[in-house]
Structure 1
Amino acid sequence: MKKVVTFGELMLRLAPQGYTRFVQTDLFEATYGGGEANVAVSLANMGLDVSFVTKLPKHEVGQAAVNSLRRFGVDTTEIVRGGERVGIYYLEKGASQRPSRVIYDRADSAIARASIGEFNWDSIFQEAGWFHFTGITPALSDNAAKLCLAACKAAREKGITVSFDLNYRKNLWSSEKAQEVITELTPYIDICIANEEDAEKVFGIKAENTDIAGGKLNHEGYKQVAEKMVRSYGFKMVATTLRESISANDNKWSAMLYDGKDFYFSKKYDIHIVDRVGGGDSFGAGLIYAGMNRYSQQESIEFAVAASCLKHSIEGDYNHASLEEIRVLAAGDGSGRVQR
């Protein structure tokens, strides 16, 4: 089986322990994560060959970030070393009706200032069958947007499947800038992944009769959104995660897949959240694994949602769920009973 390549920023995550607030804490826990890196770790844990591409400084913190991927078997040989900054994000976990908060400190990070000439996509894509990135990466800088476009063009020339998670971040760019940049990338994207807000913020396509803040989602509205995305941008598939927020701790979680002909909805999970960061990334990884292994459309959406459901129970950005755990949950065993 061919390998998967993911491209993006790997950041240092600093978070107060437990549910302590930023203004309370005198201790931050340091781990690493980032959208495309999270996907790479998930896929490696599922047994696929996966390579993560980025740029990181040569100093010890940059090396620690690289090491955080190596422990899972992610190929880091194509990571460019240089620059001065590892991007940082601060995470305050929400509880009950208090939402989680993220503060970014990633301006002028190594990958944001990287240039096209530093990445040899012919070499990077050797033996690759799939390329994945997210809307976070082109949001980092004009240079990063150009890198994403160059990667997409190279992948298309080699016949590599390209998946893209919209992942709109209002703290990084405006809706207008996102639409301008991402529209240039869409001709090269085969599979587009979005949550309940992304299509509206990036493409101006809104699901009717849906109240995201109130946790009320309309399936028919999301069918219309997916159809419009396929018709307007030529995607082969659109996958939409459907999060119904009861509180910061408790959500209902499901998803929809549209292949241009039919709609496929997953079962719905009632999840109690330990850490929601990386939930969407584990969903994307599940879709990629299913696609690489030629799962049916219904099997694909069930597997992806199960992978993401499990991630919500795991601390940190990375999904430590095993392939067998995901398969068992996707097959219907969500009892949580002790295994012994």
Structure 2
Amino acid sequence: MRFVTFGEMLLRLSPVEHRRFLQADSFEAVYGGGEANTAVSLAQFGCDTKFVTKLPDHEIGQAAINTLRQYGVDTSEILRGGDRIGIYYLEKGAAQRPSKVIYDRAGSSIAASKAEEFDWERLLSGTDWFHITGITPALSAECAKASLEAVKTAKKLGVTVSCDINFRRKLWDKETAGKVMAGILSYTDVYIGGRDQAEELFGIPTNASDDSDYEAYKAVAEKLKERFGFKKVAITLRTTLSSDENKWAALLYDGTNHCFSREYRSLIVDRVGGGDSFAAGLIYALGEGMDTQAAVDFAAAASCLKLSVEGDCNIISADEVKALAFGSGSAQVQR
């Protein structure tokens, strides 16, 4: 199968060793971004994966592209131009101190791009699966237009579309996000979202008594499918115990079966990209023809393993995910 993702590639700058921004005298640089992270994960699973974006035609833009190439992502359709790459600063939390993100991405090459720069008929020709998130349409009105045109074209060409809501309050308000994303979701086959995003953006109440109230999430999945006509609805169930430890599980609903993954309790090396790796795991599993239970088990295991990997991207193979999802799950040294 051939996969295409579309979004912004960012430069991430982080103080070293859990230092706060105010303590930092140096920053660690890595590259990533929602759809780029998903593309890298799919490439690690052995998939033919292309990433579409626009990056400045200078050395920093090239360094971002080189990161994708390093991990096997097809970068042949990345546009070059514009003035800058988007930046985000990440202060890693510890214990009860939360992580913090400061964006410096206004006017980035993709945010300043025009929708007509992306020829979706050509870009999606011969593609089996297209993936996008709610981050890309939040960047600008033109990015929202390009995102909608992409999913419309994908639907016309018979390409499966997945969308991870990924609502970012620092990029747009929930009223605008709900309106724009509703349009994109009307062309989406596989919905991916966090536990509360359906209520935030679409007014579908969760009504969960606590984190273990799985019946409430079943109802949310059913209402989402009823409203938008999705083939599959995935809801991630992340519980933050501290900045160092999360509980992670997920639900996948196929219109008949509500399947929950096992719940993982994970110590965190790097939290960023956990949702992107879940999306990649789900896309891969469904593309491989796994049934609903196996698909959500694979996706949840992929995201659990990502929490152990530094940087935005999940440098984990499909076999490693399968060993956790369907094997013993032992973390013993492999000799």
TM over 0.5: yes
Identity of aligned residues (%): 56
Contact 1:9 1:35 in 2 (8 A): yes
Q: Is the 8 A contact 1:97 1:248 kept in 2?
A: yes
Q: CA RMSD in A?
A: 1.0
1:295 counterpart = 2:290: yes
> Bigger shift: 239-248 or 43-52?
239-248
Distance 1:299 1:220 in 2: 20
Contact 2:4 2:49 in 1 (8 A): yes
Structure-1 separation of matches of 2:145 and 2:152: 11
Q: 2:333 aligns with which of 314, 335, 338?
A: 338
Distance 2:138 2:275 in 1: 18
Partner of 1:270: 265
The residue type equivalent to 2:205 in the other structure is K
Structure 2: which 5+ runs fail to align? none
Which residue does the alignment assign to 2:115?
A: 116
One-letter code aligned to 2:93 = G
CA distances 1:3-38 after superposition (whole Å, capped 9, x unpaired): 100000000000011211111111100100000000
**For 2:220, which of 188, 208, 225 is the aligned residue?**
225
Q: Secondary structure in 2 aligned to 1:238? A: strand
Which of 248, 252, 256 matches 1:253? 248
Kindly indicate whether residue 243 of structure 2 is the aligned counterpart of residue 240 of structure 1: no
Q: Alpha-carbon deviations, 1:183-223, whole Å to 9, x = none?
A: 11121000000012221221122311345xxxx34211111
TM-score, normalised via structure 2 length? 0.98
After TM superposition, the structure 1 stretch with the greater mean CA deviation from structure 2, 195-204 or 160-169, is 195-204
Separation in 1, partners of 2:235, 2:265: 17
- The residue identity in structure 2 corresponding to 1:130 is W
Length, aligned pairs only: 335
Residue pair 1:217, 1:244 contacting (<8 A) in 2 also: no
Contact residue 277 and residue 299 of structure 2 kept, 8 A: yes
> Does residue 309 of structure 2 align to residue 314 of structure 1?
yes
Give per-residue Cα distances to partners, 1:35-87, cap 9 Å, x unaligned.
Answer: 00000000000000000000001011011111110011100011111110100
Q: Distance in 2 between matches of 1:244 and 1:9?
A: 27
Distance 1:100 1:210, change over 3 A: farther
In structure 1, the gaps of 5 or more residues are: none
Q: For the Cα contact (< 8 Å) 2:3–2:127, is it kept in 1?
A: yes
Query: What SS is found at the alignment partner of 1:246?
Result: strand
Q: Is the CA contact 2:208–2:217 (under 8 Å) kept in the aligned structure 1?
A: no
Q: What SS class does the counterpart of residue 30 from structure 2 fall into?
A: strand
For normalisation by structure 1, the TM-score amounts to 0.97
User: How far 1:332 moved relative to its partner?
Assistant: 3.4
Look up the match of 2:278: 283
